[in-house]
Amino acid sequence: MIGSLNKSYNFPVIVTAEDLKALTDLLSHDFKEIQYEINTKEGTRYTLNSIEEILNYSNPNDRKIQRICIKGNKEKDKNFIFPNISVSILDKSKYSKSFELEINKLEETEICYYSQRVDEFTKRIKAPYWWLHKHTFYFISGILLYLLSAFLYLYNVDNTEPLNKVYNILALNSVGIICMFISMVVLEKIIFFFSPECCIAIGEQKKRKDKLDKRKTLIFTTIIATLILGTLSSIIAYYIIQCFV
């Protein structure tokens, strides 16, 4: 049977030069003619015939690649308006999805094969921090921040008088709004800066990714070291006080 298939994926991805080469090798094995398209941030669209032209692109921030489409036809000299297969990598800051597969007029066995292989490929390029971009994460973060703030607030205020209770309820509502704002806006911007939803790590974007990874490692190491030193200092201070009291 001859059929078609359209699948899309919606999660953060990190695509390296090796990933693009592997995807090209997968498609060029059975498709005699391959064509590449890229769209850049300022709106330029390029049609290319070699993966090397994409890999050699400088990919600067103001003209970074936001879409890569690899098309394949089983027969040569066939137009690419409706190719037999089309695989697109998309920047979710502009598009509603991160990856798309389109198959046209292929045998059932071929559809199953390429669908499975593309599924395996998407799992490989799926960003390890994908869960940070879930709305659930920001909602839970806001709730935890609110609970901590509410506990600290109520621990330090007088809640015995009726009038104080009214003031405290109003204050807690304000604290809840502030906590959700911090989680949904401030935290989201920080995460999107350090862990973008789409990173096509070639050219300058690879250098930028490496710098961000080093900064994240430094920040994480500093936080852990601070917590450890703070805990050790507290333990040491406690024993010193016990020795002299």
What does 129-143 look like in DSSP terms, one character per residue? TGGGGSHHHHHHHHH
The pLDDT tens digits for 206-222 are: 999 999 888 888 877 77
79-115 pLDDT, tens per residue?
A: 788 899 999 999 988 898 999 999 998 999 999 999 9
Q: Which residue has the tokens 């005699």?
A: 32
Average pLDDT value for the chain: 85
Taking 60 as the threshold, does the pLDDT of residue 238 lie above it? no
Residues forming a β-bridge with 36: 48, 70
pLDDT at position 80? 84
pLDDT beyond 90 at 39: yes
Stated pTM of the model: 0.79
Over the Cα atoms of the chain, what is R_g? 26
Residue with tokens 């089309």: 86
Geometric angle at alpha carbon 65, from 183 and 219, rounded to 5°: 40
